């Protein structure tokens, strides 16, 4: 494996490696091998991080567009040199199948390319003033960085979701503190090795693992002006309440629904949904979790879906053919196993799976349930596991209502070849995005990605996040 040279067990504060007495063990998710004992930043180090971010802002906000774009270009080149090692590290610490980890690194490179483009073209706009007492005046806005950013990232895309915080911060000249998920912090810390080789000003990017209490202290500090969080809705809303006057952006997942109409290409839908339901053990914010099929094609689609699911390979994440591998922890495996058992006790039927395949490696079987209802945890909550529900609906409009029966609203998919139903879905579906004839897990990193309801507020994608990280300053010129 190529990842061993990337492992950095220390925090990155003010362009230096910082150690501390307290540490956290990080394990290879499939084998249980110890990867590293990572330092947990103490209160003094957190205070230093806050101060260096504050001081760096005075310098970084004055960097030219050319300088900021050059830094992102340098980071892109360095990541490209080490792309195989980063993919291996993601697979090791996050349990992600290797082909999907390689895809994450490639997406990260495209994400950086988009950030470079957006850095050059990002701007305010001219405002019409030639009416009333504005006649004779010229007005326009410029975008200025709001201030230092705190970014909290999850385990499931340890590289690319960190870059979704980092890229817009660098692009607009805002210092950022990144706190990675404790389940998989090594990839983000390895990124510090690359950042140290760029022309970033001292203290403009700090990366540290710390306690929940000290994270809250950072969140409450008035020197930080922006808070960007990706993770669970329970944690995200709780932290939002503590952010006080900060600009807050939350991406908190969901239990993505798919609606399948009689006019759909059922074979294509079944193949795509089997992959989109069980890829990476369903540990993706937009994994397919609930499928609603109109009655007239339910039986036909179900047989196709069961056949495609039976072809999903589970096992070692470094096997290029594996789709479903280790969940992030034994607690999560036990949790989903309990949820499935509770659903069965409440009337659900297991059509396939429904058991732990490998206790030592934390692998849960690809599972399909039917006969579910909205009282069940597997319906109410984000499963973040290889479990999908499938139910029939009398017609397309009813299926849409069933899809909307959720406290989440991130992305919803619709398989149909009826244009009227596409328009109906556009109007009626309650989600941040409607994906037509593809899975809800479709994403291009430059698109505005985010949800409504309990799925969060704000949008990711370099252009959109750059707006979130900046404020408009109005200029009015009298002639």
DSSP 8-class letter at 28: -
Residue 178: how many CB atoms within 10 A of its CB? 27
The CA distance from 357 to 390, in Å, is 22
Residue 379's Cβ-side half-sphere holds a number of Cα atoms within 13 Å equal to 23
The CA distance from 316 to 287, in Å, is 20
Is 428 annotated in the active site?
A: no
Is 285 annotated in the active site?
A: yes
Q: Active site residue: 104, 251, 430, 460, which one?
A: 251
- SS3 percent helix, strand, coil of the chain, rounded to 5, is 40, 25, 35
Show Cβ contacts of residue 334 under 8 Å, excluding neighbours closer than 6 positions: none
Q: Active site residue: 55, 93, 104, 285, which one?
A: 285
Burial letters 233-260, b for 16+ CB under 10 A, else e: beebeebbeebeebbbbbbbbbbbbbbb
Residue 477: how many CB atoms within 10 A of its CB? 10
Residue 222's Cβ-side half-sphere holds a number of Cα atoms within 13 Å equal to 0
Q: Which residues are catalytic?
A: 251, 285
């Amino acid at each position: 494996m190529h990842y061993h040279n990337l492992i950095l067990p220390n925090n990155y504060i003010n362009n230096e490696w910082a150690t501390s007495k307290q540490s956290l063990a990080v394990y290879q998710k499939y084998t249980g091998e110890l990867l590293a004992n990572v330092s947990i930043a103490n209160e003094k180090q957190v205070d230093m991080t806050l101060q260096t971010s504050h001081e760096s802002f005075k310098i970084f906000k004055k960097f030219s567009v050319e300088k900021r774009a050059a830094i992102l270009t340098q980071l892109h080149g360095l990541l490209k040199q080490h792309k195989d090692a980063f993919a291996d590290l993601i697979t090791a610490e996050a349990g992600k199948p290797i082909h999907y980890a390689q895809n994450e690194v490639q997406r990260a490179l495209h994400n950086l390319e988009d950030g470079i483009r957006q850095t050059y073209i990002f701007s305010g706009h001219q405002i019409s003033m030639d009416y009333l007492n504005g006649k004779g005046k010229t007005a326009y806005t410029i975008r200025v960085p709001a201030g230092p950013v705190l970014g909290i990232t999850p385990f499931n895309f340890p590289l690319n979701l960190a870059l979704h915080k980092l890229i817009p911060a660098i692009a607009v000249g805002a210092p950022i503190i990144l706190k990675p998920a404790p389940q998989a912090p090594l990839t983000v810390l390895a990124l510090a090795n690359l950042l140290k080789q760029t022309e970033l000003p001292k203290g403009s990017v700090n990366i540290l693992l710390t306690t929940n209490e000290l994270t809250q202290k950072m969140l409450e500090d008035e020197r930080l002006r922006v808070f960007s969080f990706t993770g669970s809705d329970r944690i995200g809303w709780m932290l939002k309440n503590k952010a006080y006057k900060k600009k807050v952006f939350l991406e908190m997942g969901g239990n993505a629904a798919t609606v399948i109409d009689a006019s759909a290409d059922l074979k294509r839908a079944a193949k795509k949904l089997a992959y989109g339901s069980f890829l990476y053990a369903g540990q993706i914010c937009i994994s397919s979790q609930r499928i609603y099929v109109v009655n007239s094609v339910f039986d036909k689609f179900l047989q196709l879906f069961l056949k495609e699911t039976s072809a999903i390979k589970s096992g070692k994440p470094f096997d290029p053919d594996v789709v479903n591998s280790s969940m992030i922890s034994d607690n999560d495996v036990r949790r989903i196993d309990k949820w499935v058992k509770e659903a069965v006790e409440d009337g659900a039927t297991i059509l396939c799976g429904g058991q732990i395949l490998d206790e030592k490696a934390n692998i849960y079987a690809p599972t399909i349930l039917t006969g579910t209802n909205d009282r069940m945890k597997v319906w109410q909550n984000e499963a973040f596991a290889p479990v999908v529900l499938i139910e029939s609906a009398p017609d397309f409009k009813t299926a849409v209502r069933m899809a909307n029966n959720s406290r989440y609203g991130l992305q919803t998919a619709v398989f149909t070849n009826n244009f009227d139903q596409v328009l109906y879905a556009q109007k009626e579906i309650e989600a941040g995005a409607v994906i037509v004839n593809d899975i809800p897990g479709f994403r291009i990193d430059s698109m505005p990605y985010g949800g409504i309801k309990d799925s969060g507020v704000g949008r990711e994608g370099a252009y959109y996040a750059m707006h979130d990280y900046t404020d408009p300053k109005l200029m009015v010129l009298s002639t």
